[in-house]
Amino acid sequence: MEAIQAKQEKLIQLFRSAPIVQSFGLQLSYRDGSAVIDMPYNPNYDHGYHQIHGGVMATLLDTAGWFTVAPHFDFWIATVEFSTRLLIPAEKEALRACGKIVRLGKRLAFCDMEVKNSREQLVAVGSGTFSATSVPAKW
């Protein structure tokens, strides 16, 4: 368990250095082994009807899944595929995404992810497959 927590701490540092994280204002934490991604509301990510764009939801889902799975491998992780289901519109509100491992194999991991709004309503759900590559991880 300590090895996973040490990797999580290193991943938080890696996360903070990513330009997209800085642009979106994202924050990463871990709770009960799951990555939790918080995003404050930013009107720059709205579509023409002034709701948060679905592409932002997809980004949050993928990020939550990737960072949930990554501490369990010693190699860089690649997203193989993920699905996004948009359930209700999000409008002028902070969002939180989290991941939950469904199955963890030697090279593949399967994760379910969700995005909730500040009222704890389920905004989007997804699932993803993540694969360990041959590139050694730096965490």
**Residue pLDDT, tens place only, 11-23:** 999 999 999 999 9
Per-residue confidence band for 1, with pLDDT thresholds at 50, 70 and 90: confident
Is 74:136 a contact under the CB 8 Å cutoff?
yes
> Can you tell me the distance from the alpha carbon of 126 to that of 81, in angstroms, rounded to the nearest whole number?
10
State pLDDT tens for residues 72-126: 999 999 999 999 999 999 999 999 999 999 999 999 999 999 999 999 999 999 9
Single-letter amino acid, residue 79? T
Q: What is the percentage of the chain residues whose pLDDT exceeds 90?
A: 97
> Can you tell me the distance from the alpha carbon of 42 to that of 24, in angstroms, rounded to the nearest whole number?
8
Is 60:114 a contact under the CB 8 Å cutoff?
no
- pTM as predicted: 0.95
3-9 long-range contacts, CB within 8 A, separation 24+: 4/33, 4/71, 4/72, 5/30, 7/70, 7/71, 7/139, 8/71
pLDDT at position 2: 85
Which CATH architecture is the domain 2-136 placed in?
Roll (3.10)
Domains of the chain: which residue ranges? 2-136
- Give the chain's mean pLDDT: 96
